[in-house]
Amino acid sequence: MLAIISLLLALVIGASFYLKWKHSYWSRRGVPYMEPEFFFGNFKKASLGKMLPSEVIVKAYYEFKSIGAKFGGIYFAYTPIWIPLDTALIKQLLQKDYWNFAGRGNFYHHKNDILTNHLAFSEGAGWKSLRAKLSPAFSSGKVKNMFHIIDRVGDQAESIVMDLCKRNQPLSIKEVQACFSIDVIASCAFGIDSNSLDNPNNELRQHSRKLFTPNFLSRLLEQFVNWDVLNFLGYSGLGKDADNFFVKLISDMINYRDKNNVTRQDFLQLMLNLRQKENTADGNEKNVLARDEVISNSFLLYGAGSGTVSSNMSFLMYEMARHPEIQEKARREIWEVCKYDPEYKVTYEDLHNLKYCDMIINETLRIHTSVTEVRRMCTTDYQVPGTNVTIQKGTFVLIPIWALHNDPDYYENPKEFNPENFGEEKKADRKNAPFFPFGEGIRSCIGMRFALIQMKLAMVKYLKHFKYELNSKTPKDIQYEASPVAIEPKGNVLFDIKKVDIENYI
């Protein structure tokens, strides 16, 4: 008995020394660090729901900045994460030295977990080749071809607002915008009319809700258990239900198009066109894009393109309701572009003339940076320039863009919503101020152009005919909640709607 107790005691003491040693990783490397706590590292409050994970990164940013450090280290449980804060260093990592950080370190299994075998999770040469194949699908010409899809869904959103206005009901912006974004991207990435605006509880929406619900337990499992073991045990990054649903949905659509010779101008078609054969170096033939790659990348565009746009539009409209004078200025610009005609249909080209709306979008992306960090994994040992610190291969890197965008050293009164931050007058100051809501460098967001067009057209649809005020149930101060792809405004955000008096604008 005594022997067993002694053995257990020795194991406990050994384990505790080992875990302490794991938590000394950054101090052993001479990197400033935030003091970790047992088991949780620096994410105890975040794990207990008392803080957002993104707020932990903001806290770390200011802690390191207060001691004049250019970078620092934190721990997710026992996994070290490196946080660079110096803007010159960040630019170097994302641009000149991007090849040292050619991965993101997400959970994926190429053979068995089809939906995670896509551009955003791929690394190195595989990523580079896939990115080159997919990039043409996001050119301005291709995005312009999809404008009519966004416009049609936008009209539907506009009539929903009209209907609510007539019935004197408040608008739940998160709900309507989520359906708006899902319908646009489902049409462009899967080629289906999902009709979430008319039927918010359809099957696609239900599976999407699960997809966008953060799952801390999964993230922990992925950190602690070998990925091949997880896969052997039947674990999938998204859950089996979601896997089966989305794979079947996209496969059915591919089969339908192949069988009926149907073509459309959307992302799915552009990827299907890449299935033609190419010659490989060894003289064989292979598809430029395999069928599974079409499925996983369609799914990626859906996942990356719906949550991000909808959270940003919800923040933007929240700010409009909080700032009636800014809302009014945007509306006047929209009427001007619409040639003061209530029936005028805005064109793709017209959107370029909405300069003040652009400023509002940028200010929203600055202050509420929905993708709060740019994530990388170090793929070859990297000596930080001007130091003797080496970041080891396999280290996670988080670039704290939300913190940088709200740092008073770069933006005066950073918590004040001020579109003038992106006006002509501040152009010179902006050169030194960090602003990269879509990331930076060769791996920045591939969907940026598509996202910006969608947001601007959504502004036209929401603002031209209606005014918004905060409903009494909606807090004046914006609070945040997390989703796996973005942060979004907390809770149900309701606005009271009034139809504008057209006489004031024509």
Annotated binding site for heme: 445
A 10 A CB-CB count for 151 gives 17
Stretch 341-380: interaction string toward ligand HEM, x if CB under 6 A: -----------------------------xx--x------
Stretch 155-194: interaction string toward ligand HEM, x if CB under 6 A: ----------------------------------------
Question: Cβ-count burial of 69 within 10 angstroms (0-12 exposed, 13-18 middle, 19+ buried)?
Answer: middle
First and final CA of the chain: distance in angstroms?
Answer: 91
Q: Are 393 and 379 a contacting pair, CB within 8 Å?
A: yes
Nearer to ligand HEM, 304 or 497 (CB): 304
Q: Are 106 and 120 a contacting pair, CB within 8 Å?
A: yes
Nearer to ligand HEM, 44 or 144 (CB): 144
Pair type for strands 285-287 and 390-391: unpaired
Stretch 384-423: interaction string toward ligand HEM, x if CB under 6 A: ----------------------------------------
- Token couple for 264: 């459309």
Q: How far is the CB of 166 from ligand HEM (least distance, A)?
A: 31
Q: Out of 47, 308, 362, 379, name the contact with ligand HEM by CB under 6 A.
A: 308
Query: Under rule CB under 6 A, which residues in 114-153 are in contact with ligand HEM?
Result: 119-120, 131
Query: Under rule CB under 6 A, which residues in 246-305 are in contact with ligand HEM?
Result: 300-301, 304-305
Pair type for strands 79-84 and 171-172: unpaired
- Told to check if 316 binds ligand HEM by CB under 6 A, we report no
Q: How far is the CB of 12 from ligand HEM (least distance, A)?
A: 41
Nearer to ligand HEM, 72 or 103 (CB): 103
Nearer to ligand HEM, 236 or 312 (CB): 312
Residue partners of 11: CB distance under 8 A and separation at least 6: none
Cα–Cα distance between 402 and 472 in angstroms, integer?
Answer: 29
- Told to check if 451 binds ligand HEM by CB under 6 A, we report yes
- Token couple for 125: 């040469």
Q: Which of 459, 359, 485, 372 is nearest to 61 (CA)?
A: 372
Q: Out of 36, 72, 84, 447, name the contact with ligand HEM by CB under 6 A.
A: 447
Residue partners of 79: CB distance under 8 A and separation at least 6: 41, 223, 396
Q: Are 392 and 114 a contacting pair, CB within 8 Å?
A: no
Name the amino acid, one letter, at 426.
K
- Told to check if 312 binds ligand HEM by CB under 6 A, we report yes
Stretch 210-239: interaction string toward ligand HEM, x if CB under 6 A: ------------------------------
Q: How far is the CB of 339 from ligand HEM (least distance, A)?
A: 28
Nearer to ligand HEM, 165 or 493 (CB): 493
Nearer to ligand HEM, 19 or 448 (CB): 448
Cα dist from 193 to 179, 182, 186, 190, whole Å:
12, 10, 7, 9
Q: How many residues bind ligand HEM (CB under 6 A)?
A: 24
DSSP 369: -
Query: Under rule CB under 6 A, which residues in 417-446 are in contact with ligand HEM?
Result: 437-440, 443-446
- Told to check if 459 binds ligand HEM by CB under 6 A, we report no
| Binding-site residues | 445
Q: Are 425 and 401 a contacting pair, CB within 8 Å?
A: no
Strand partners, 481: 488
Q: How far is CA 435 from the centre of its chain?
A: 15
Which residues of the chain form contacts with ligand HEM (CB under 6 A)?
119-120, 131, 300-301, 304-305, 308-309, 312, 370-371, 374, 437-440, 443-447, 450-451
